[in-house]
Structure 1
Amino acid sequence: MRVPSPLIRGLVGSCIVAATSLVTSVVPPSSWVASLPIASDMRHSLPGRMTALAFMVFGLGLLVWAWLSVGREVLAGVRHRLIPLTVIWSAPLLLMPPLFSRDAWSYAAQGALVAKGFDPYSVGPGVLSGRVIEAVDPMWMATPAPYGPLPLAYGGLVARLTLDPYVLMLAHRALALLGIVLIAWAVPRLAVACRVDPNVATWLVVANPVLITHGLGAAHNDVLMLGLACSAFAVALTGRWGTAAVIAGVAAAVKAPGGLVVIAIAAVMSPLAGRARARLASLCIAGAVSVLTLVTIGELTGVGSGWLSALDVPGLVKSPLSIANLIGMGTSGVLEWLGADTAAEQALQIVRLLGILTALGLIAVLGLRSHIHQAARAVGIALLAVVLLGPTAHDWYFLWCLPFLAVARPGRRLTTALVGVSLILTIAAPLNSSLRGAAVPILVTTSLVIVVVGTLLGHLRTLQPAKPSKPTQPASATPTTV
């Protein structure tokens, strides 16, 4: 039996994911999805939800398998039309409910707050009523928005036209789509500048199933932040560092970590290593332009800069993907077991603070010491440090560092690691907050994920072509010097 081409496998997998999202995704009860004949019946029964989850994992497995098959050929030097391929794999998800996360419904409600004249940095969606808050996670109903002024102002504009939460969600997915377009434009240019095969970088980043499912499918505004950050670096490499610094400020106006691309911009401004004063001056200038842009956006949109006081909101989630959280929760558990309840309550906050300080110290070192040839890697490591050492981390945060590490001349080990993490985060995506407290679905889905991940991990061994062995020279041969 002939195996379908990767394009067909990926498309079928994406269609399965799209179809099952009609059952597995949390949607407003007033939306059209909630009243679909078959999907609504499956949604309200445990066997129906479990069937949909099983097919969801299977569809994700097909998509990842197709991506790995294309990658094996790309890494071997075969040229692929990766942008059309990504478009085909992404198309089935464009109008579907948000995958794996309820954040897009929070975006919709926060836009409604702006449209209604509320300060989204002072109050949460709970002050609203009606269908716009039907699908918002109860955990975030009373919390202010931790996002920059740009997506909030945009959400407010759309909310003045309609308060239909599904339409508002699609509007934010359009922002994610714009982010992917920017990434697809910037990554090949960064790869060429960094002397990396642009075809390999495009496969590793743009066609990555994490970007397709978590980025576009979940409609996270992180994708727009990332697209702007990548574009800022690409523009800086053309010599227009002032424009690049402005774009970096726009990226920070979506989410604060986007501003870390100023590390790369400063490296372009003072490309020689070892000149700390010149690099510090470049960082100050690029940083000042970015901050000025950020403040200006806040004032022009009328949203302001109150979001800086709400940056600790994501820390309410004690994610195990954050090293600081793992150490803090472990320390807190031990102290609680020993009877030191007061110390146990403080342990997590202290460890989180140490993690943030460590990340800031690493960012300072990278900003002052990394020269132009290490700029991409420096930004990638800085963003990775924010994810792993910050107060919280979600699986889609991996996207923050992916483009920069992908163009930083990754060797076999780093490439394999990036592919392996992408594989796991894609297949394990259904184990999200929508399964919170549902013991049976969690156990069954975890078992399915382990089986699929275990099957696909075997493909990593043969993903990259083996390096040709060097011929052994005879003992009498005289080495040639260049």
Structure 2
Amino acid sequence: MNRWTYKLRRITWQQAYVCGLVGSIIIAITSHMCGATRTRGGIMQALGLTSLTFGHMTGIMVVIMWIGVLLLMLSWIVVGGHILRHGRSLTTKMTTAWIAPLFFAGPIMSRDLYSYLMQGTLARDGINAYEHGAAANPGPLLFEVSADWRNTTTPYGPLHLWIGDLITSVTGDNITAGLFAYKILSIASVVVMMWAVARLARHFGHRASVAVWLGVVNPLSIIHLIGGMHNENIMMALVLVGLYAGVKMGPWRGLVAGATLIAMAVSIKATAFIALPFLGWIAVARIAGRAPGGLFRETFTRVLTLCATGIAMLGITSAVVSLVTMLSGQTWGWIAEVTGNTKVINPLALPSFIASSITPLWSTFDSDITFNVVVNAVRPFSTILMMLGLIVVWWVFRTDELLALKGATLAYLVTCVFNSVTLPWYYTAALALIGVWTFDRRMIFFTAWFCLAMSMMFDGGGNNRLYSLWWVIGVCLLTFWMTRACLGYAPRRPMEKTDEWILHPQPREIQM
């Protein structure tokens, strides 16, 4: 063990708390200088400090922001080491240190919040957001929406627009007030996610502290679900509570409650629907028992139950979405707009990765072969693979409740890989579920490493750094070392040379 690894492993719980608190405060402060900052108005203009938001000072603030992100990441992985190696329990005090300062932060690593507010004004003013972009409703908010999205219709569901309508009806065109309203909603949603994940973990015999630490309050989720205020937070809060209802309440009551909540999540964002078929397998397993061994073997009772639960879930989903659509005053136009963000390009999505990889070489032989030509050719095949993958995962992971949750996790990962567009916060859906069921040390290790590395792949304003090879390599090496040192584990290291982890609930876990 080298000197730096030894120092990292010697960081105490209290030092990690201070480190995380300071890091979160730094992120909150610098978000107003080098985050997704306002083009007009804002706190820096009110304070007469706009000189900190451009020129050389911006470069300095970017460096300070990354120091804050690193401190938050360091705190999180050190806490993870204490939880896994020493049996410590994740405390409210620690999670508050990571989250609370971000209440005062502006949007970071994405400008989507301004689009949410703008879409809310469209709904408020009776403009169909599925036919018109932000430019149809000029006003102060329009200047804050990214130019790429001003003429783009929304891909989100009627509940998303209804929430935006309610918020902007209260806050008007006051961007600061609207931001704080969404911030409260974001923090509340993450708290609900923590509650649901903790209870799901206990239900399946896993430590709640491990599940919440790994799946909900990791830096990737904190930065993008609270800092960026993406609507995945509300979506996954509803999905997770729905899944918990499915495993905890009576089989049929759990199915009805779970389907209702997931249908509401679908009304936020269509990808919530991925969890619904696995809720069906949970109900089938609880009503008709486990599936028999064999890939294609099923009992007649389970098949009948599957048909009954499937019809019930589709009926509930249709009824709930229809009711939300009617009450919100929206139309069904969002069904046709769910692919409206395909203009986003980054190598997290397989089609973009393939196009980015082969276009430079191919174009040297044929100048007519451009990135857009390749990505448009690959996307249909990737979509077909995604659909096939979802079907295969749904069938393979049908045996019981636990396998159904594993299947839902893998299904969300399939969509992240094969979808036409993937952004870092899309992974928060799969991450929220992983800690609930896995006892595999390699999976926990690589998940933690992924959370750390991905937290540094978008800059404060929302531009990705995934095409900067040296940045990606450097971040991946640094975060791999941090993960290995703090967790006391490396995938290729002999078991006798790694630390033992406490993954099962203990009679009395160590408290603060």
Asked if TM exceeds 0.5, the reply is yes
- What does residue 397 of structure 1 align with? 426
Provide the rounded CA distance (Å) in 1 between the counterparts of 2:212 and 2:446: 17
Match of 1:184 among 194, 197, 201: 194
- Between 1 and 2, higher relative CO (CA 8 Å, sep ≥ 6) is seen in 2
Provide the rounded CA distance (Å) in 2 between the counterparts of 1:121 and 1:174: 27
**Percent identity (aligned):** 23
Number of aligned positions between the proteins: 462
Would the aligned equivalents of 1:188 and 1:201 in 2 still touch at CA under 8 Å? yes
Match of 1:461 among 484, 498, 512: 484
1:451 Cα deviation from its structure 2 partner: 5.4
Provide the rounded CA distance (Å) in 2 between the counterparts of 1:88 and 1:449: 28
1:465 Cα deviation from its structure 2 partner: 5.0
1:245 correspondence with 2:241 = no
Provide the rounded CA distance (Å) in 1 between the counterparts of 2:464 and 2:482: 29
1:194 Cα deviation from its structure 2 partner: 2.3
1:45-444 to structure 2, matched below 5 A, reads 45=55, 47-161=56-170, 162-238=172-248, 239=250, 240-271=254-285, 272-273=290-291, 274-275=297-298, 277-278=303-304, 280-281=306-307, 282-330=309-357, 336-339=363-366, 341=368, 346-370=373-397, 371=399, 372-430=401-459, 433-434=462-463
1:126 Cα deviation from its structure 2 partner: 1.0
1:342 Cα deviation from its structure 2 partner: 7.7
1:402 Cα deviation from its structure 2 partner: 0.3
1:250 Cα deviation from its structure 2 partner: 0.6
Letter in 1 for 2:484: R
Would the aligned equivalents of 2:347 and 2:353 in 1 still touch at CA under 8 Å? yes
1:414 Cα deviation from its structure 2 partner: 0.8
1:35 Cα deviation from its structure 2 partner: 0.5
Unaligned ranges ≥5, structure 1: 437-441, 471-482
Q: Secondary structure at the match of 1:219?
A: coil
Letter in 2 for 1:6: A
| 1:241-279 deviation per Cα after TM superposition (whole angstroms, max 9, x unaligned) | 111000010111111111211133112111122437347
Provide the rounded CA distance (Å) in 1 between the counterparts of 2:414 and 2:146: 28
1:343 Cα deviation from its structure 2 partner: 9.3
1:199 Cα deviation from its structure 2 partner: 1.4
Letter in 2 for 1:172: Y
Would the aligned equivalents of 2:113 and 2:228 in 1 still touch at CA under 8 Å? yes
- Higher mean C-alpha displacement, 289-298 vs 412-421: 289-298
Would the aligned equivalents of 1:107 and 1:169 in 2 still touch at CA under 8 Å? no
Provide the rounded CA distance (Å) in 2 between the counterparts of 1:312 and 1:93: 31
Q: Secondary structure at the match of 1:261?
A: helix
1:5-44 to structure 2, matched below 5 A, reads 5-37=15-47, 39-44=49-54
Letter in 2 for 1:143: T
Structure 1 412/40 Cα, relative in aligned 2: closer, same or farther at 3 Å? same
Provide the rounded CA distance (Å) in 1 between the counterparts of 2:173 and 2:121: 7
Q: Secondary structure at the match of 1:316?
A: coil
Would the aligned equivalents of 1:25 and 1:434 in 2 still touch at CA under 8 Å? no
Structure 1 354/83 Cα, relative in aligned 2: closer, same or farther at 3 Å? farther
Would the aligned equivalents of 1:155 and 1:168 in 2 still touch at CA under 8 Å? no
Letter in 2 for 1:457: F
Provide the rounded CA distance (Å) in 1 between the counterparts of 2:371 and 2:457: 31
Would the aligned equivalents of 1:194 and 1:409 in 2 still touch at CA under 8 Å? no
- What does residue 475 of structure 1 align with? none
Would the aligned equivalents of 1:331 and 1:348 in 2 still touch at CA under 8 Å? no
Would the aligned equivalents of 1:109 and 1:165 in 2 still touch at CA under 8 Å? no
1:335 Cα deviation from its structure 2 partner: 5.4
Would the aligned equivalents of 1:83 and 1:184 in 2 still touch at CA under 8 Å? no
1:329 Cα deviation from its structure 2 partner: 4.5
Provide the rounded CA distance (Å) in 2 between the counterparts of 1:53 and 1:189: 39
1:56 Cα deviation from its structure 2 partner: 0.7
Would the aligned equivalents of 1:83 and 1:207 in 2 still touch at CA under 8 Å? no
Would the aligned equivalents of 1:82 and 1:207 in 2 still touch at CA under 8 Å? no
Q: CA RMSD in A?
A: 2.7
TM-score (norm 1): 0.89
- Higher mean C-alpha displacement, 73-82 vs 412-421: 73-82
